[in-house]
Chains A and B, each alone.
Chain A
Amino acid sequence: MPLELYLDLMSQPCRSVYIFAKKNNIPFDFKQTSLMMGDHHGEEFKKINMVKKVPAMRDGEFCLSESIAMMMYMVEKFKTPDHWYPADLQKRARVNEYLSWQHMETRTHGSKIFYINIMIPKIMGKDIPQDKRDDAIEDLNGTLKMMEEKFLGDKPFIAGDQISLADLVAIVEIYQPLAAGMDVFEGRPKLKAWKDRVRQAVGPELFDEAHKGVMGAMEMVKGMDGSKLEAIKPKIQKMYF
């Protein structure tokens, strides 16, 4: 029985899992779990992941959440090429270092921009206060600076000469604010060059396919029925206003 991957490609960690599995020819059943439709709150999905988040994985009786844990599991199970998660102690540490750091940096600050530019105007019918918006942009700028100076430096990829899980996790998160209309690559030639390398290494067709949904998010959300998103209004009010 093949792996089941519960995914919504609007979600950054779902994209990294999807790209990794496809690139490595890992056989899996794509279980569409639509966040906008509330699939993740369903009874069936709760059995897969009681935390009610995507991505999630089922391998026979074994269920697993957290994209990073899932990819490390697939690396081991399917014996993917070494460069994805190098056996070399120090190279592997570089990958682990980025994967840990990014939760509260790239992921947090990138997600915020997506919310601010796309979700909030739809849900709340107004923009957040300018100073909060400026803070969010400043935070992301700080993250991207650290990306370029520390994690990339003068290396082609985070762990060195070849793409790894770190680059994959980084790129999908960086595409979230990009999809929200913030050109993260403008004035950042180093980051842009790295992005091009990553896209090439993954395969442009696969990369673009995985990002098609999110790149169309702005248009899609505009045309959406706002009432479907009423449930998150109080949370957004608390966090952003």
Chain B
Amino acid sequence: MGLPDGQTLQLDTMTVELFLDLHSQPCRAVYLFAKKADIPFEYKKVDLTSGQQYGEEFGQISMVRKVPVLKDGDFILTESIAILMYLADKFSTADHWYPAEPQKRARVNEYLSWQHKAIRESGSKIFWFRAMVPLLTGAPVDQEKMDSVVEDLTSSLTIFEDKFLQKRPFITGQEISLADLVAIVELMQPVGTGFDVFEGRPLLSEWRDRVKKELGESLFDEAHHTLMNAHTLPQVLKDSGMLELLKSRWKKILN
């Protein structure tokens, strides 16, 4: 186009910028939704493994220094759930993602609210305990701590199956919604460390397969590729210098 280096021509005002690192569950939810719903976006990678979120430039985007972040012109938005709802509304995505019918919508809202302190918290902890803590402290995490968090996750999975799914194909019923999307990316996090949350849970496994099919296997696998390579994190973090920083801050990050 003949533009000087570094400049881009914004061809339409509908394209949003999404600041993502696919190691992060909420980033995967946003990525999957944007791709699946054909939402035009510019992918802006934020490399958590090199501490890019702590840099000057990213600090200008978001003082919270977390991903994902959405930028729509001058409007900047954090929190994946807020981003997903914003995208669903702005791009008038298919109703089933965030149903207009009040009771169906309430089911989605209920799940999205409950999951923070349930599946997200214990799934994240298992990821950290298995992938990161041995690296940061030189020893595996204390077995009692591990057992405790696995117990928490197990309780959450039981509630997920008994309350949120029951005998339905998806959380709201016949069709996939934002709730299933947010659920699946969080449940995959421990899987990235070799901890199979689906083992021995046929109901959950069937739901996972349905969600994967709905999203498209290839898109699902693409979104989870980075996570499934989590075994390379030790070397990646050593190379980038982030290991030292994480050693002093890991407990804070976990909370």
What residues make up the interface of A, taking CB atoms closer than 8 Å to B?
50-51, 62, 64-70, 72-73, 76-77, 89-90, 92-93, 96-97, 99-101, 103-104, 108, 139, 146, 149-150, 238
Contacts and interface: CB of A to CB of B under 8 A. Distances in A.
Nearest to B110: A69
A92 B113 CA distance: 16
A150 B63 CA distance: 8
Interface stretch (B51-59, B72-80, B132-140, B214-222): B72-80
A139 B255 contact: yes
Interface stretch (B82-90, B184-192, B196-204, B228-236): B82-90
B36 interface: no
B102 A77 contact: yes
Given A68-B109, A97-B77, A101-B78, A51 B102 contact: no
B103 interface: yes
Given A51-B163, A69-B110, A72-B109, A100 B116 contact: yes
Nearest to B109: A69
B162 A50 contact: yes
Which one of A62, A66, A72, A93 has the highest number of Cβ atoms from chain B below 10 Å of its Cβ? A93
A93 B162 contact: no
B235 to A, nearest CB: 30
Given A69-B113, A93-B86, A149-B63, A104 B121 contact: yes
B210 interface: no
B75 A65 contact: no
A140 to B, nearest CB: 11
Given A76-B102, A89-B86, A66 B79 contact: no
A14 to B, nearest CB: 14
Contact of A238 (B114, B121, B148): B148
Given A69-B106, A72-B109, A90 B75 contact: yes
Contacts of A72: 105-106, 109
Contacts of A96: 79, 81-82, 85-86
Main secondary structure of the interface of B (DSSP, over half): helix
Contacts of B106: 62, 64, 69-70, 72-73
Contacts of B63: 146, 149-150
Interface of B: 63-64, 75, 77-82, 85-86, 89-90, 102-103, 105-106, 109-110, 112-114, 116-117, 121, 148, 159, 162-163, 255
B64 A146 contact: yes
A89 B255 CA distance: 30
19 contacts: A50-B162, A50-B163, A64-B110, A66-B114, A69-B113, A70-B106, A76-B105, A89-B86, A89-B90, A90-B75, A90-B86, A92-B85, A96-B85, A97-B82, A100-B81, A100-B82, A100-B116, A108-B255, A146-B63
A149 to B, nearest CB: 7
Contacts of B80: 100
A196 B17 CA distance: 37
Contacts of A68: 109, 113
A150 B61 CA distance: 12
A92 B110 CA distance: 18
Given A96-B85, A104-B117, A146-B64, A73 B102 contact: yes
A65 B159 contact: no
Nearest to A104: B116
Contact of A62 (B77, B89, B103): B103
